[in-house]
Amino acid sequence: MLIESERLRLRPIEPLRDADDMLALLNDPGFLRFIGDRGIRTPEQARDYIAVRVLPSYALHGYGMYAVERRSDGAWLGNAGLVRRDGLPGPDIGYALLAGHVGQGYASEAARAVLDHARAGLGLKDLYGIIDPDNLASAAILRGLGMEQRGLVQLPGNEQWVTLFAMPGAAPT
């Protein structure tokens, strides 16, 4: 599967092809601050992370997180996609970029491409977003997608409270 936007290409993440880039993303200061430390420190751990945490979603749900590449040169910018989480009645739009690619509109463009694919390609309507309450840039992206802020929630199995966003009319949590 391939999703394209004006400047980006989103494709399934592959363990061998994407391990080094995923390792860099999982240890990027922004990822660590706003998403969390996954404890991945080696390329081998990154391959295992992809195999265990990313690939099963494609088979189970027909979607997941995708590698985000710049169309002009193929540069790996980060990831974006849909995640099923306990405690949410529908998928969550997620995205994360390497620090060198932040502030250039790529996250908004990738999130929009995911939203369009979720609706047109997958027929999904109830879409959500969760963010660290301090992540104002992500809040702006989700609002730009047309999502409404619904307050703070604590998802099952997580200690951290997150800000919940949802598309208008999405089922309550």
Q: How big, in percent rounded to 5, are the helix, strand and coil portions of the chain?
A: 40, 25, 40
Per residue of the chain (173 residues), give pLDDT as tens: 689 999 999 999 999 999 999 999 999 999 999 999 999 999 999 999 999 999 999 999 999 999 999 999 999 999 999 999 999 999 999 999 999 999 999 999 999 999 999 999 999 999 999 999 999 999 999 999 999 999 999 999 988 999 999 999 888 87
> What is the set of domains in the chain, with CATH numbers?
3-126 (3.40.630.30)
d(CA 137, CA 34): 11
**The whole model's pTM is what?**
0.95
In this structure, is the dihedral angle defined by the CA atoms of residues 57, 58, 63 and 66, taken in order, positive or negative?
Answer: positive
| CA neighbor of 133 nearest in space, from 150, 146, 147 | 150
